[in-house]
Structure 1
Amino acid sequence: MTDTPTTPAGARPQLLLVDGSSYLYRAFHAMPDLRVDPADPHSAPTGAIRGMINMLGVLRKDYPDAAYAACVFDAPGKTFRDELYPDYKANRASMPDDLRSQIAPIHEVVALLGWTVLAVPGVEADDVIGTLAHTAAGQGLQVLISSGDKDLAQLVNERIAIIDTMSGKRRDLAGVQAEFGVSAAQMLDYQTLVGDAIDNVPGVDKVGPKTAAKWLAEYGSLEGIVAHAGDIKGAAGQNLRDKLAWLPTGRELLKIRTDCDLDGYVESLPALDSIAVRAQQTGDLAAFYEKFGFKTLIKALTAADGSRPAAKPATAAARPAADLFADAPAASQAGAERVYETLLDWPAFERWLARIEAADLTALDTETTSIDEMQARIVGLSFSVVPGQAAYIPLAHTGPDAPVQLPLAEVLARLKPWLENSEKKKLGQHIKYDRHVLANHGIEVAGYAHDTMLQSYVLEVHRPHNLASLAERHLGRSGINYEDLCGKGAHQIPFAQVPVDKAAEYSCEDSDQTLDVHRVLWPRLQQNARLRAIYELEVQCSEVLYRIERHGVLIDASLLKKQSHELGERIVALEAEAHQLAGQPFNLGSPKQIGEIFFDKLGLPVIKKTATGKPSTDEEVLEKLAEDYPLPARILEHRGLSKLKGTYTDKLPQLVDGAGRVHTHFAQAVAVTGRLASNDPNLQNIPVRTAEGRRIREAFIAPPGHLILSCDYSQIELRIMAHLSDDEALLKAFHDGLDVHRATASEVFGVPVDQVSPEQRRYAKVINFGLIYGMSSFGLARNLGIDNTAARNYIQRYFERYPGVKRYMDETRQLAKAQGYVETVFGRRLMLPEINSPNGPRRQGAERAAINAPMQGTAADLIKKAMVAVQQALDTGPRASRMVLQVHDELVLEVPTAELDWAKAEVPRLMAGVARLKVPLLAEVGVGANWEQAH
């Protein structure tokens, strides 16, 4: 009798997860060409079905004690990775037809065998597996993943292992180290460096597994490697430096998510009850085997159970693949006949122009040359005014068989009056992008009334908002993939070379689906006045963000280059100082070498240890040691300056346009709190706590005859806390115009306001902001450098003085647990899927978010309202001042000197007046020749 295989910890696995998407292909290619009728080569193929049955049978035999099991497949459609990187998986060949035809039967038989079948729209199978494995491991369960995919190795830990049933290879902590030469914790960094050719995710050119493992052994992490990119010699070092801007994107693409929303597919996560192992449905299984000609399996089933095949297959137990993700209230439209037209002559164009002129609402979509919204040019346009009908105007197709097309310039000239007419209502998916594209052709679109991306963002913030996901989720429709049209990898063609008939179907489908999705989501928004108001704010905000992005912000590139040179000199000097303090040269980016210097040579105290029991040298440890020792302080400074140089002073000058301006992109439908995200480049995270960081803002300048004006809300989240908690003492402090931190110090330390010391005020400030973010007594003690008992006493005294805050926190936790979400003052919903988790840390994290999210979300609503109000004032003036940035609670404007007095008075007044809370809003203004001077 053989022993049952065990997990790394020695215990039998309690959760089995099968990477169904990986094994589909492996079963298909490993099995012979089996058919329902062996004598008829044209009958339905069954090899992949039989291979899956065999594989699952082996797993159940080897691990009979597992209480939970799921087989996870990729759902049709795109995910966030496709939006992040359009060339994602571009090299993958289309699924063979013989395999595609076996998908639905595989899903059916897997369920009949007692496994839960999962295919979650908008979420890759790896991410579903990652979420389930992480959740189960967090509850103390042993998890075994059955897959041949090496990417999953980044999930491996003490409770999660991977087994490849076809090769017998096992990847636990020791197995990963032995196979790849790096720890499981380093696997994501390793994969980022090497890249993934299968998914078309580039790594660093000429850097293979050996070099990646060598670098990680020397520098510890990707961050350490990047920090020392300048030190790495040869072609590999240059290739690394060439890829520095790409690496964060590559890492994001390759990172397996462990926090996906599986609501509706896995009930009561993370209790995992809905994926408990079930008994196989013997009668239905026998009928299935008979249908597909698996005579040997029927005999084995009958011998084991004595049952006979059912009269006909029963499929209620397993939903077909299409139904796994269909929650479509408008799915009836999916089967309707569609009429898509291609407009190649003026009579057809005039007929459709008349239709859109007469329509109450027109869905509009652009096909372009690039995803870079500032550079993209139009290849074609599509319109839809009623479901199932759409038209495509090809304008710049250049393929060998491209027909004669209407002239682009003339078509746009004839569309321009309609496009720029605010009375003609338009609809789009991510309208801000299309506005930029049309602006590249000299058209300022007016009349955009709706954006399906923003509708989804307001209604279902925690789910994907791309059109493919929306169509699958709400219509039960899957569309044409971009790769199906343009090909993949080196053979990919530009959209302009796509045959017009195929391009027309693709673009018309986008407009048609956008209109259909709108017809589902808009009524839902209309039913909730508060959510509708949030959505209308988002649409207005999209208009303002378009203006900000279009205008850009002026950069002094020569100043940044000078700063970059100075930073480089300081970085070299810091390295020399660190070597001197250590008494020997060493790599400042290598945790291993730092650990040897700190603990073996210098005998510094061990603050904490890693999971493997070695002394940690992470940033938290360095910051603690830097309080008493100069070497950790030098290393921290070296890292900070290296990041500043690589991220800002080196990069920003490369991004300026011909007018010397940088154009950031504001992602509107990303953060669950409603906050905006700046990227390409990120201008919201420029450090301001160091002199070097603040100097970078000196390079954000005003043009001649102008000044930079900065206006930001004062203590906005504390004011929101006062409003939400209705605490008398906090309300009084703000109404009386007191320094709220000084007022808190007076309450907590029991001294008159005018006798509060600077140290007491500092303590009070940490307490005020810490409690907003759910800081524990341990966190407060660490921040203030005091013991836990003193920290607990401070918190207790705070709540005694501000009982309304304590009451708000308690009631908010209870409300969040009851309804699964919290709301901002204005009605934005902030979902909390972990609020009732049995996993303590995850639940506590959700409870902290429940308290903080209404404040962060309300602050996000307020700044968006402020942006809209200020833009309206600029337009009605009309004024020559322009908003150039939005950063957290701050608006930055470029103001002509002639309008300075108006702006200094009016902008803070407008910001303070966008809402009436129980405490007054205050916006503070500063002016200067550059952004730093304006603070």
Structure 2
Amino acid sequence: MTEKKTLLLVDGSSYLYRAFHAMPDLRAVPGDPNSPATGAIRGMINMMQALRREVRADYAACVFDAPGKTFRDDWYPEYKAHRAPMPDDLRAQIAPIHQVVRLLGWPVLCVPDVEADDVIGTLARTAAGQAIEVIVSSGDKDLSQLVDEHVTIIDTMSGKRRDVAGVTAEFGVPPSLMVDYQTLVGDAVDNVPGVDKVGPKTAAKWLTQYGSLDALIAHAADIKGQAGENLRRALEWLPQGRRLVTIRTDCDLAGHVEGLPALEAIAIQPLQTEELKAFYEQYGFKSLAKSLEAHAAAPELLGHGGAQTGEGGTGLLDGTLAAAAERASNLVYDTVLDWTAFDAWMDKLQAAELVAIDTETSSLDEMKAEIVGISFSVTPGEAAYVPLAHDYPDAPEQLPRDEVLARMKPWLEDASCHKLGQHIKYDRHVFANHGIEVQGYVHDTMLQSYVLEVHKPHGLASLAERHTGRSGIDYEDLCGKGAHQIPFSQVAIDKAAEYSCEDSDQTLDVHRVLWPQLQADERLKFVYELEIASSETLYRIERNGVMIDAGALAAQSHELGQRIVALEQQAYEIAGQPFNLGSPKQIGDIFFNKLGLPVVKKTPSGAPSTDEEVLEKLAEDYPLPAKILEHRGLSKLKSTYTDKLAQMALPRTGRVHTHYAQAVAVTGRLSSNDPNLQNIPVRTTEGRRIREAFVAPEGRVIASADYSQIELRIMAHISGDEALLRAFNEGIDVHRATAAEVFGSTPEQVSSEQRRYAKVINFGLIYGMSSFGLARNLGIDNTAAKSYIDRYFARYPGVKNYMDETRASAKEKGYVETVFGRRLYLPEIRSPNGPRRGAAERAAINAPMQGTAADLIKLSMNAVQKALDDQGLGTKMVMQVHDELVFEVPEAEVDWVRAEVPRIMAGVAELKVPLLAEIGFGPNWEKAH
């Protein structure tokens, strides 16, 4: 029998964006920001070489989008209208990427006026028509419409495979219905509207019920509810939408590669070794150039090698292709099912300088999760998994969990036994749920990435891919997803062992790449050590939790409910009829058809918009939009906080335990969720009343300590402006001092209105506020606002110099820094798009202040926790919100906390102006202010 041939098609446009965002900011000359960027080129080489090794093919092509418009732009001028322009650093790497892909043996296709998807579709159908197997490598779900018995899509980044069964399982419809599915759902990325408010589940349900889009359209009158209304409103658009989302499979490709459409024209080619070596040397890829010498002996290994220090620390640790391949084929992953094996591994852990450890659990909720298994790795390529609670039928007998944890507890709680993890705070909680307080966590790969490359993803899969060239098993491939996802305890032990061992092994691998980079930069190392210490303190805060007064919340919910009903009645009276205050269609009809309100802006489909921005603008002049906004605000408070907070209390503690995410905000600030403590509105009476429900138990009080005018003080320090420094060092009211400067009077003559103006100016300029923004904020005209800003800069020239120098420095480096060395990257700072560049420039001015404030509150949090521990006090830190620390204080310790906490917070850093922290006490959070 003749062996089937295979065509491998690569979605080059998808690949190059992934390469750009996944790799560090590499340069041809390391450390020189003016040298050509090479990160995307290096990432593309890694990905193309890995794919060539993993998928054997007779024919292949790497397909890129050509610059300029396509035929779809002629059909629909708004097509892709909202897509951000390609970053300059990526655009500059396109030509060399095309060049190196050809040198790596791949035919390259880039067809004018035709999108890459259509080229791929045409080639796939041509090959499938000749019974040739087609594999498309892409993460783009839109290509799923091409899948059939001959065409399969693989996503090498996630490990996802989309064959006919895979597409059906993922989207709820077979590939033959994917065009209809995409038409209904729309494509926000390409600015192709679908049916309003119809998501994947509704689309799949309709198509399953009716069999096709045409049949659904024929029965549109039968569809009930808002979804049916939206479908009927979209009927005229749907043919155009279907036309736009349909991948063409009949493009004329003749002439773009000599010999096409015959597939022999795109037979995969050998590497052009000499040209490749010159290319690698030109772009500073020393290790890749060196690796070409091994090609003659082992050509299939080429391209998986690592970078030397000069290439940004990416790549495999041993720096050679042969060693990398040898390690990949010699992984030793043990499954520990008896005490002999367990004791042998415990001996290894005791003797190791550093152990990577990972838990597999029953829940993502760290306060509820129980251990299902534990893995650890002490040597790259070697790991072990101890299954403890797998409970599927015929599961092998496992060691008893309680006894295993009891034997491990001394080692886990020994601070001299150094441990490493990925997101160690979660694992601390999991062990604590079993009565173990882990000590000795000295490294966290998630936090290493967060400090080194805050603008990149920090998940282990992404870290392993871009820093070690390794991919791994996806959790959803192991457990499924959605309603069909099984708990980890039901995963077969052999598969669970491979997955968990891989996590520990890859964590150790990633650490060995990232830690030397942190060690090489004292300022970044300081920030990393701050994050590690903060992880420990945040674990304590989360574990403590805070008491909630359920009765107070219930009373507030009842009152809010009554006010919400009253607002509905008032809105009905203004409108002259009842209507659904949550329906944009009904609101639009009343606003623009009945009441004749002005149209502020339109939706992509051309209808008058009633979004939040429009409501706020109209509320300035009309009562109905104001009532709707008030109704929405109260409804959100009720549903998000007063109805839910008490339900979120953990039964075993009776407290709410928020989760603090460290590696999310690019400024270094923490984010809080379940519940989100940072979004409680404090400028409204209703929001402040919610804070009254955060209480202390009997015999204790709540204390709230925060920094006074912290970002203005940081501005004074960073800018060195003499007038600002003098105001803070002499203890003058800085807003009154600013008003005196701007309005040309003495501080004593400043009115309360002038002080308010000055306060808006002070804080507005920190956030890059323009004269237009200031005018809108103060309710004055643009000329007056510009005059105030000009006078401000004339009186505070150091601030103006800081802003100008920061913009220039950010554009040169691509990032700004906090006082302590945290780097805050600004990808759009060189954007040709004016609004995007302007936003990045405003962020460049503000980010050092926000980031420094974040660093200061973390330093304070850690220092205060250390003092509480050193004194053996019963005071607990229970929340960290913005620039504020919240405590639960025994009444006997109030005096100590009142005196010491502000002193400690003020002393964590020495700036050019004094830091000032203030503290208050009360029976609840609100009263403590």
Q: TM range, normalised to the smaller chain?
A: 0.7 to 0.9
Give the TM-score of the pair, scaled to structure 2.
Answer: 0.73
Of the three residues 405, 414, 430, the one matched with 1:412 is 405
1:328 maps to 2:315? yes
Report matched runs for 1:912-931 at 5 Å: 912-931=906-925
Report matched runs for 1:545-694 at 5 Å: 545-605=538-598, 607=600, 615-658=608-651, 659-694=653-688
Structure 1 contact 334–476 (Cα < 8 Å) conserved: no
Q: Deviations over 1:152-196 (max 9, x none)?
A: 79xxxxxxxxxxx99997999xx879999xx95686853277487
1:213 maps to 2:206? no
CA separation of 1:888 and 1:137: change in aligned 2, threshold 3 A: closer
1:393 maps to 2:401? no
Quick check: 555-564 or 613-622, which moved more? 613-622
1:874 maps to 2:861? no
Quick check: 330-339 or 558-567, which moved more? 330-339
Q: CA deviation at 1:105?
A: 6.6
Q: Deviations over 1:188-227 (max 9, x none)?
A: 85327748799xxxxxxxx99865635769999xxxxxxx
Structure 1 contact 622–636 (Cα < 8 Å) conserved: yes
Q: Which residue of 1 aligns with 2:506?
A: 513
Inter-partner Cα distance in structure 2 for 1:867 and 1:456? 22
Size of the alignment, in residue pairs? 748
Letter in 2 for 1:683: L
Which SS does the other structure have where 2:13 is aligned? strand
Inter-partner Cα distance in structure 1 for 2:689 and 2:113? 51
Q: Which residue of 2 aligns with 1:888?
A: 882
Quick check: 603-612 or 687-696, which moved more? 603-612
Structure 2 contact 185–203 (Cα < 8 Å) conserved: no
1:350 maps to 2:343? yes
Which SS does the other structure have where 1:872 is aligned? helix
Report matched runs for 1:773-812 at 5 Å: 773-812=767-806
Q: Which residue of 2 aligns with 1:855?
A: 849
CA separation of 1:880 and 1:374: change in aligned 2, threshold 3 A: same
Report matched runs for 1:477-516 at 5 Å: 477-488=470-481, 492-516=485-509
Q: Deviations over 1:55-87 (max 9, x none)?
A: x9xxxxxxxxxxxx83559979x99xxxxxxxx
Inter-partner Cα distance in structure 2 for 1:218 and 1:724? 58
Structure 1 contact 555–661 (Cα < 8 Å) conserved: yes
Structure 2 contact 187–193 (Cα < 8 Å) conserved: no
Give the TM-score of the pair, scaled to structure 1.
Answer: 0.73
Structure 2 contact 58–268 (Cα < 8 Å) conserved: no
Inter-partner Cα distance in structure 1 for 2:232 and 2:477? 43
Q: CA deviation at 1:872?
A: 0.3
Q: Deviations over 1:749-775 (max 9, x none)?
A: 111111111111111111111111111
Inter-partner Cα distance in structure 2 for 1:548 and 1:840? 43
Report matched runs for 1:192-271 at 5 Å: 194=202, 211=225, 213-214=227-228
Of the three residues 84, 89, 102, the one matched with 1:134 is 84
Q: Which residue of 1 aligns with 2:126?
A: none
Q: Which residue of 2 aligns with 1:381?
A: 374
CA separation of 1:194 and 1:728: change in aligned 2, threshold 3 A: farther
Q: CA deviation at 1:488?
A: 5.0
Structure 1 contact 133–143 (Cα < 8 Å) conserved: no
Inter-partner Cα distance in structure 1 for 2:186 and 2:533? 55
Q: Which residue of 1 aligns with 2:447?
A: 454
1:190 maps to 2:206? no
Inter-partner Cα distance in structure 2 for 1:219 and 1:570? 34
Structure 1 contact 697–932 (Cα < 8 Å) conserved: yes
Q: CA deviation at 1:495?
A: 2.1
Which SS does the other structure have where 2:809 is aligned? helix
Structure 1 contact 219–591 (Cα < 8 Å) conserved: no
1:110 maps to 2:66? no
Letter in 1 for 2:731: G
Inter-partner Cα distance in structure 2 for 1:841 and 1:427? 42
Inter-partner Cα distance in structure 1 for 2:750 and 2:392? 76
Letter in 1 for 2:713: R
Letter in 2 for 1:328: G
Q: Which residue of 2 aligns with 1:714?
A: 708
Inter-partner Cα distance in structure 2 for 1:545 and 1:322? 45
Q: Which residue of 2 aligns with 1:257?
A: none
Inter-partner Cα distance in structure 2 for 1:538 and 1:876? 21
CA separation of 1:774 and 1:176: change in aligned 2, threshold 3 A: farther
Letter in 1 for 2:516: P
Q: Deviations over 1:76-129 (max 9, x none)?
A: 9x99xxxxxxxxxxxxxxxxxxxx999857898333x66689xxxxxxxxxxx9
Q: Which residue of 1 aligns with 2:833?
A: 839
Which SS does the other structure have where 2:85 is aligned? helix
CA separation of 1:196 and 1:380: change in aligned 2, threshold 3 A: farther
1:909 maps to 2:876? no
Q: CA deviation at 1:682?
A: 0.9
Report matched runs for 1:714-793 at 5 Å: 714-793=708-787
Which SS does the other structure have where 2:60 is aligned? helix
Which SS does the other structure have where 1:109 is aligned? strand
Q: Deviations over 1:488-528 (max 9, x none)?
A: 55554332233323322222221111111111110000000
1:525 maps to 2:525? no
Which SS does the other structure have where 2:880 is aligned? strand
Q: CA deviation at 1:575?
A: 0.8
Inter-partner Cα distance in structure 1 for 2:499 and 2:842? 45
Report matched runs for 1:312-323 at 5 Å: none
Report matched runs for 1:266-285 at 5 Å: none
Inter-partner Cα distance in structure 2 for 1:717 and 1:479? 43
Q: CA deviation at 1:653?
A: 1.8
RMSD of aligned Cα (Å): 4.1
Which SS does the other structure have where 2:454 is aligned? coil
1:818 maps to 2:799? no
Quick check: 311-320 or 807-816, which moved more? 311-320
Q: Which residue of 2 aligns with 1:93?
A: none
Structure 2 contact 668–855 (Cα < 8 Å) conserved: yes
Q: CA deviation at 1:584?
A: 2.3
Letter in 2 for 1:191: G
Inter-partner Cα distance in structure 1 for 2:230 and 2:305? 41
Q: CA deviation at 1:633?
A: 2.2
Structure 1 contact 219–592 (Cα < 8 Å) conserved: no
Structure 1 contact 531–828 (Cα < 8 Å) conserved: yes
Structure 1 contact 709–934 (Cα < 8 Å) conserved: yes
Structure 1 contact 687–694 (Cα < 8 Å) conserved: yes
Of the three residues 459, 462, 472, the one matched with 1:469 is 462
1:70 maps to 2:13? yes
Inter-partner Cα distance in structure 2 for 1:763 and 1:810? 24
Inter-partner Cα distance in structure 2 for 1:310 and 1:411? 53
Of the three residues 406, 415, 424, the one matched with 1:431 is 424
CA separation of 1:758 and 1:625: change in aligned 2, threshold 3 A: farther
Which SS does the other structure have where 1:734 is aligned? helix
CA separation of 1:115 and 1:865: change in aligned 2, threshold 3 A: same
Letter in 2 for 1:878: G
Structure 1 contact 377–437 (Cα < 8 Å) conserved: yes
CA separation of 1:884 and 1:480: change in aligned 2, threshold 3 A: same
Provide the identity percentage: 63
Q: Which runs of 5+ in 1 are unaligned?
A: 1-38, 57-68, 80-99, 118-128, 154-164, 199-206, 221-277, 302-308
